[in-house]
Amino acid sequence: MHSASVAEPARRITVGHRDADIIGGDNGAIQLGLDAMAQRGGGTVQVLPGVYELIDSIHLRSGVTLVGDRQGTILRRAPIVRSHLAADADIGERQITPEDISPFRAGMGVILRGGQGETGPHAPLTVVGIEAGVLHTNHYNFANHTAGESFVVSYFAMIHGYQVEAAVVDGFTIDAGADDVTGIDDVRLGGVMLTFCRQCTVRNVTVSGALGDGILAEPSQDIVVHNCESFNNTHHGVHFGSHSPGAQTLTCDLHDNGSDGLYLCWGVRRGIFRDNRIHHNGFRLHRNGISLGHKDTDNLIADNHVYDNAKHGICFRIKTEANGAHHNELRANTIENNGRPWSDVPEQLRPFERAELLYAGIFINGITHDVVLADNIIRETRTGADRLQVNAVYLAAGVSGVHMDNNIMEGHAQSAVVDESGATDHRLQG
């Protein structure tokens, strides 16, 4: 006798407006596919071309690949709704009482604003039920919010991974812009946000309009951002931080973001940042092409084109010896034409010292040591008063052990290399 064969469960589910396994045009339909595939042990959810309106994050699942068509699969935020609180929302509660319950519905992603603190991005809130004028949420409040002063608003990361492993996002256009950001313009979330994640990949994604960062991963490990475009976000284009070792950003286009194009926050170690175009960033907050600092060690920054950013091309932030960005290599980058005129510096930032108002291709603050600068082209090609990248390399007090080799430096209005470090163990050019 032959035993009856049992068919393997399908490893691909399609979602679309028509001709798909799951029919729908919102985050709920996509989430249904992700959750079903996670129950099967992993696989692929393919989102067919179309515009999908989101009232909450698309929540990634471990071992599931979320695939779209980069040009044709568009994720768009639903119109924002909000209300002041009728009762305090306290730490430890899982409910919110708005003055006006009518615009809210189950399934919405929300944040609380005002009061003693803000809803933490590590635990975004989703409305799981509405009863007797109260929103019931899937997580606890992490701060106290006062009735009358604070409010609840339907804002969220467009794609969010929380404690997931081996998830992939591949091929989407994410329009994270909001129709009304009154009172939430300082929110720091992401278009794509990964929190406490491991070995995840974001590739072939275009993201714009986020309050916060285009792509944010913290604290997460071995995250790859590949062939993505991130632009017109209020803060960073790509942001790794809060101890995210093994990060990679490869062949991305990071431009026209309000702060740094690529921001390495805290504890980004053994990362590779290669073959990216990083340009026209920092005009809202007077920032850099690439920024690194607190315990960001042993990284390779190579083959990038870093140009036309508001401040420095690459900036090492000032730190202590224990917390410095030591043992980093900058190789074969082209860094040019960074810095913007005084008239473009935001009013609140103008009182700062020389280091904040004169610009370099590479600016290294102390305490930082053991940095390799090799085979880079660092140049200023503009003319006259527009030559605002005045130095190729600037070493501030407390920098040591900088080794330069075979860099081409040209066109700067002042010395190619300025050394105010006081150290004697450099190997410099010029």
- 316 DSSP assignment: E
Candidates 252, 207, 253; CA nearest to 234 is 207
Give tens-digit pLDDT for 335-364: 999 999 888 887 877 776 544 567 999 999
Give tens-digit pLDDT for 91-112: 899 999 999 999 999 999 999 9
Tell me the C-alpha to C-alpha distance, in Å, between residue 279 and each of 199, 255, 257, 384, 410: 28, 5, 9, 21, 19
The residue ranges of every structural domain in the chain are 12-78+156-419, 81-154
Give tens-digit pLDDT for 186-243: 888 999 999 999 999 999 999 999 999 999 999 999 999 999 999 999 999 999 988 9
Give tens-digit pLDDT for 262-274: 999 999 999 999 9
Q: Kindly give, in sequence order, each residue whose CB lies less than 8 Å from that of residue 352, ignoring residues fewer than 6 positions away.
A: none
How many other β-carbons are positioned within 10 Å of the β-carbon of residue 246? 17
Report, at the CATH architecture level, how domain 81-154 is classified.
Beta Barrel (2.40)
Determine what percent of the chain falls in helix, strand and coil, rounding each to the nearest 5.
5, 40, 55
What's the alpha-carbon Rg for the chain, to the nearest Å? 24
Choosing among 2.160.20.10, 2.40.50.70, 3.10.180.10, 3.40.640.10, the CATH entry for 12-78+156-419 is 2.160.20.10
Q: Kindly give, in sequence order, each residue whose CB lies less than 8 Å from that of residue 216, ignoring residues fewer than 6 positions away.
A: 121, 157, 189, 190, 192, 193, 194, 236, 238, 239
Reply yes or no on whether the pLDDT at 121 is more than 70.
Answer: no
Contact 165, 194 (CB under 8 A): no
Q: What is the pTM of this model?
A: 0.95
Reply yes or no on whether the pLDDT at 3 is more than 60.
Answer: no
How many other β-carbons are positioned within 10 Å of the β-carbon of residue 50? 17
| Residue 123 dihedral angles phi and psi, to the nearest 5° | -140, 70
Average pLDDT over residues 325-340: 98
Burial of residue 131, with CB atoms counted within 10 A of its CB: 0-12 exposed, 13-18 middle, 19 or more buried: exposed
